[in-house]
Structure 1
Amino acid sequence: MQHAYGKAGDIPALLERLHEFPKSEGEAEPWFTLWSALAHQGDVYTASFAAVPHVVSALASAPARAEEAFFRFPAWVEICRAKHQVEVPQDLKAAYFEALARLPSLVAQAASRPWEPGFAACALSAVAAAQGHHAVAEAVLEMSTPQIAEEFIEWVSNQ
């Protein structure tokens, strides 16, 4: 497996830490390294596709406790895969797409708690990405604050 910096031998240990539901703000680990290595500047790698089922598995263990990164990461990998027309390797394809298919039901399970705007954007983006609506998924991610959403609505109204 490869990631942005070469061989992805460091990734399994980082993914295992996700079951502890670590914080994802700023440079908090393991998320900082996972993002940097697996979704570097919009590029995705074989290790990115292998990581998504592990992220979704950790998410599935307690969706109501998960931070937004648990939804954002698989959505972003899928958005980038589609945008750059990257093929998922055959040996990873089934697990990758099965993990994406689980996202809508995990979003529903996470709906039992209050959502901040950023969390809502990530959760809704994950549903759109899982359904193959990549442009919608990316646009929703951009609507992560009420101010941005209001500016967009104003822009649409003026068209």
Structure 2
Amino acid sequence: MLELDDPRWSALTHAHGSAADIPDLLRQLARTTDPKDNYKSEPWFTLWSSLCHQDDVFDASYAAVPHIVEIACKATGPLDFRFFQLPAAIEIARNKGNGPQIPGHLAATYSDAIFRLTDCVALHRREDWNEPVLLSAFSALAVAKGHQRIAEAIMNLDDDLIEKLIASDFGEQS
């Protein structure tokens, strides 16, 4: 895992340029693992807009995922759903070709972090989960097991689509 004080963060990029700011955002994240009410809550808003911007990912995204998963695995108590959702979204985007290849020095820890999402979900299984946490956990499990299409489908579920699925209401089919 690329240590947070490693100078190579400055050579990595995200949607807005140099990733030199990501270590401080990850440190902030480690102090605030509880669920947030607002999608603009920091540091999540900046992490998301920097690391998975309009479904594009960056080399800094691959460096950040192991930290996000590690923070989630060490956290006690309820987690913000984005601990599962952001790594899953990054992996989905990567598999769709919406980012660069994983740099060699990040490949092993990134792959291990994606696999560790299963452990992370299991560590938090006894907590009460609202719908966003449940859907994000399912999506994280799906990417960890190599099912990106299913992960993306789960991530895109909303109240309207869930109701249509329950009612089997998909309109006219040709």
**Which residue number in structure 2 is paired with residue 7 of structure 1?**
18
> What one-letter code is carried by the residue in structure 2 that aligns with 1:83?
K
Task: Measure how far apart 1:157 and its partner are.
Answer: 10
**Which residue number in structure 2 is paired with residue 109 of structure 1?**
123
User: Identity of aligned pairs, percent?
Assistant: 41
Task: Measure how far apart 1:51 and its partner are.
Answer: 0.3
Q: For 1:125-146, what per-residue CA distance to the aligned partner results, in whole angstroms no more than 9, with x for missing partners?
A: 000011111010000111244x
Q: TM-score with structure 1 length normalisation?
A: 0.91
Structure 2 runs not aligned, ≥5 long: 1-11
Give matches, 1:1-40, under 5 Å. 1-20=12-31, 21=33, 23=36, 25-40=38-53
- 1:144, 1:58 → 2: CA distance? 27
Higher helix content, 1 or 2: 1
Over the aligned positions, Cα root-mean-square deviation in angstroms equals 1.9
Structure 1 runs not aligned, ≥5 long: none
The answer to whether residue 73 in structure 2 is matched with residue 60 in structure 1 is yes
Give matches, 1:26-105, under 5 Å. 26-62=39-75, 64-84=77-97, 86=99, 87-105=101-119
Q: Find the residue that maps to 2:102 and give its secondary structure.
A: coil
Number of corresponding residues: 158
- Are the equivalent residues in 2 in contact too, given 1:63–1:106 (CA < 8 A)? no
- 1:152, 1:83 → 2: CA distance? 25
Q: TM-score with structure 2 length normalisation?
A: 0.83
- 1:43, 1:125 → 2: CA distance? 18
